[in-house]
């Protein structure tokens, strides 16, 4: 089973009492909440009233490592840092980091958006990231159904 969850499936607000709770018949704190100017779906958690968009909270659902740290590591790799040296500085195993890239490739579109927005990476650098796992970042329009 994938550790990814779709946006809108759970509240990404860490201080929320329903944080990370997947939506179900009993659990339905997440509602659609209009769209952003860019046309992205926006959601709101009824529990904590936080709003978030499609690009927030999509990545690495319930990984032990904070999403920001994973994204930061991916950005370093895209910038040309070696996985072996990042493994040393972050304290994670190389296999773990490669696993992150592989999982990131499953949601390439959201990851690329986060990297481009937060790290000013180039498209070529991000393509280099996917090259590590032989995944060109196939864009999937829907989940695995
Ligand atoms: Zn919430």
Tell how far the Cα of 7 is from the centroid of ligand 1, in angstroms: 13
Tell how far the Cα of 23 is from the centroid of ligand 1, in angstroms: 12
Contact between 78 and 129 under an 8 Å Cβ cutoff? The reply is: yes
Other Cβ atoms within 10 Å of 62 Cβ, number: 10
* 28: Cα separation from own chain's centroid: 22
User: Which of 67, 68, 87 minimizes the C-alpha distance to 77?
Assistant: 87
Distance CA 136, CA 102 (A): 11
Supply the pTM of this predicted model. 0.53
Residue 133 has pLDDT above 60, yes or no: yes
The residue with greater pLDDT, 35 or 122, is 122
For 40-65, the pLDDT digits (tens) are 788 899 999 988 876 544 555 555 67
Tell how far the Cα of 89 is from the centroid of ligand 1, in angstroms: 33
Residue 103 has pLDDT above 50, yes or no: yes
Residue 22 has pLDDT above 50, yes or no: yes
Distance CA 43, CA 135 (A): 30
Other Cβ atoms within 10 Å of 126 Cβ, number: 22
Q: What is the mean pLDDT of residues 67-73?
A: 85
Cross-strand partners of 102: none
For 77-91, the pLDDT digits (tens) are 999 999 999 999 999
H-assigned helices in 1-145: 67-78, 83-90, 94-106, 108-119, 123-131
Tell how far the Cα of 10 is from the centroid of ligand 1, in angstroms: 8
State residue 137's pLDDT score.
44
């Amino acid at each position: 089973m994938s550790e990814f969850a779709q946006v809108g499936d759970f509240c990404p607000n860490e201080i929320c009492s329903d944080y990370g709770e997947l939506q179900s018949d009993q659990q339905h704190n997440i509602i659609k909440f209009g769209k952003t100017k860019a046309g992205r779906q926006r959601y709101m958690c009824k529990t904590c009233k936080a709003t978030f968009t499609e690009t927030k909270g999509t990545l690495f659902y319930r990984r032990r490592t904070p999403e920001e740290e994973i994204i930061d590591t991916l950005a370093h790799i895209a910038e040309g840092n070696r996985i072996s040296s990042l493994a040393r500085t972050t304290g994670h195993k190389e296999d773990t980091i490669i696993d992150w890239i592989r999982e990131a490739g499953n949601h390439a579109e959201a990851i690329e958006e986060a990297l481009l927005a937060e790290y000013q990476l180039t498209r070529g650098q991000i393509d280099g990231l996917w090259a590590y796992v032989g995944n060109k970042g196939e864009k999937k329009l829907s989940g695995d159904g």
